[in-house]
């Protein structure tokens, strides 16, 4: 960035790195929350003890969402499976909050109650330190209600291989996802339809034909208002099943060469779909201004 060899960073740099880069002459930070990115804990719904909905709900009640928000500057707690900035999301869908006593009551309804020591679980993280912190937080919260979660690091190649079968997929995986077009249906289908089970977009292995039919029907509905109403119904259905812990609506931040770049996303022109902010045909670079900085 100092040598003007890099115009913009990716979104995975830490807040500390971003603050350092901002001190470079001509470099600024672009930050936004409305990108449509959601952070989840995938829960393998076919792997004991997470095949029991009461265990999944107990973990959703035990998780410390406020602490997670504090770990990620600029984030907000997620409400359901789709960010509220995305058209067709449901602002009234049920939202979990931390309630240890309620979590313990859920566990008492589980078929595994009294035998949880026989079912240690694995939480995997990859990509960045933030995801490791989420996993460590989950491990601590699970311990508070008598569940054992071990945290391990993975990489993309190993993740893609292991998630492909129910048996090798981990109990938990921290992962971010975003729709490929700016409607709730895009993300809902990618995350929970049976066609994505065993891919990086669905470690839950939900395999629910009722949901498959719901979301396929919703996406095929031409009338916008009717389609969005069906998306909201599908979101509520997913929340009731609790296949994931909906962590945060994730912020996006980049350092970029503000002096010699014109970047629409940095001006707030965001569409909630995958990588639109980085669409190069909308970004202008002015070589003469870059030369000015190089001569300084």
3-state secondary structure of 250: coil
Domain borders along the chain are 15-34+251-295, 38-249
Q: pLDDT tens digit string along 154-197?
A: 999 999 999 999 999 999 999 999 888 889 999 999 999 999 99
pLDDT score at 74: 81
Mean per-residue pLDDT over the chain, rounded:
93
The span from the CA of 119 to the CA of 122, in Å, is: 10
pLDDT for residue 273 is more than 80: no
For residue 253, the cross-strand partners are 31
pLDDT score at 78: 95
pLDDT score at 20: 95
CATH 3.40.50.620 fits 38-249, yes or no: no
The span from the CA of 212 to the CA of 287, in Å, is: 50
The pLDDT of 250-263, averaged and rounded, is: 92
The pLDDT of 281-289, averaged and rounded, is: 93
The span from the CA of 219 to the CA of 235, in Å, is: 13
pLDDT for residue 272 is more than 70: no
The pLDDT of 127-150, averaged and rounded, is: 93
The span from the CA of 151 to the CA of 139, in Å, is: 7
The more confidently predicted of residues 72 and 185 is 185
3-state secondary structure of 276: helix
CA 271: distance to chain centroid? Answer: 17
What are the contacts of 159-166 at 24+ separation with CB within 8 A? 159/124, 159/126, 159/200, 160/199, 160/200, 163/198, 163/199, 163/200, 163/203, 164/198, 164/199, 165/198, 166/44, 166/46, 166/47, 166/198, 166/205
The pLDDT of 88-105, averaged and rounded, is: 97
Q: In this structure, are residues 234 and 211 in contact, taking their beta carbons and an 8 Å threshold? A: yes
Q: Which of these, 29, 243, 45, 12, lies nearest to 131 by C-alpha position?
A: 12
pLDDT for residue 40 is more than 90: yes
Q: Per the structure block, which two tokens stand in for 280?
A: 């190069």
CA 292: distance to chain centroid? Answer: 40
The more confidently predicted of residues 251 and 141 is 141
């Amino acid at each position: 960035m100092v040598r003007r060899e890099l115009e913009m960073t990716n979104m995975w740099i830490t807040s500390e790195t971003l603050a350092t880069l901002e001190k470079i002459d001509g470099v600024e930070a672009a930050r936004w929350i409305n990108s449509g990115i959601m952070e989840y804990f995938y829960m393998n719904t076919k792997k004991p003890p997470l095949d029991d909905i009461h265990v999944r709900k107990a973990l959703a009640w035990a998780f410390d969402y406020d602490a997670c928000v504090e770990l990620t500057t600029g984030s907000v707690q997620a409400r359901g499976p789709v960010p509220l900035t995305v058209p067709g999301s449901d602002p009234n869908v049920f939202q979990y909050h931390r309630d240890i006593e309620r979590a313990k009551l859920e566990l008492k309804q589980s078929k595994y109650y009294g035998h949880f020591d026989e079912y240690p679980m694995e939480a995997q993280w990859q990509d960045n330190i933030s995801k490791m912190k989420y996993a460590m937080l989950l491990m601590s919260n699970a311990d508070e209600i008598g569940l054992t979660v071990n945290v391990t690091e993975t990489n993309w190649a190993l993740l893609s291989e292991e998630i492909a079968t129910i048996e090798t997929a981990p109990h938990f995986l921290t992962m971010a996802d975003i729709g490929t077009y700016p409607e709730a249906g895009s993300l809902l289908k990618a995350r929970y339809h049976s066609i994505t089970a065993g891919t990086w977009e669905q470690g839950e292995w939900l395999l629910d034909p009722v949901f498959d039919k719901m979301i396929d029907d919703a996406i095929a509905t031409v009338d916008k208002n009717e389609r969005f109403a069906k998306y909201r119904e599908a979101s509520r259905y997913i929340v009731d099943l609790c296949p994931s812990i909906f962590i945060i609506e994730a912020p996006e931040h980049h350092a970029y060469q503000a002096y010699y770049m014109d970047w629409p996303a940095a001006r707030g022109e965001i569409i909630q779909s995958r990588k639109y902010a980085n669409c190069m045909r909308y970004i202008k670079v002015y070589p003469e201004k870059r030369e000015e900085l190089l001569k300084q």
